[in-house]
Structure 1
Amino acid sequence: METPAPIRLKDALALLESGTPVAVRFVTCDRRRKTGGEFRELKAARIGSGKRQAAAKQAPVPAGPVATPRNPGHFTNATRNLVNTLTGELVKVHIYLIVAVQGRKVII
Structure 2
Amino acid sequence: MSIYVGNLSYQVTEEDLKTAFAEYGKVSRVQLPTDRETGRVRGFAFVEMETDSQEEAAIQALDGAEWMGRDLKVNKAKPREERSGSSRGGWGGNNRGGGGGGGRSRF
* TM-score of the superposed pair, with normalisation by structure 2: 0.20
Structure with more of its chain in strand, by fraction:
1
Q: Which has the larger radius of gyration?
A: 2
* TM-score of the superposed pair, with normalisation by structure 1: 0.20
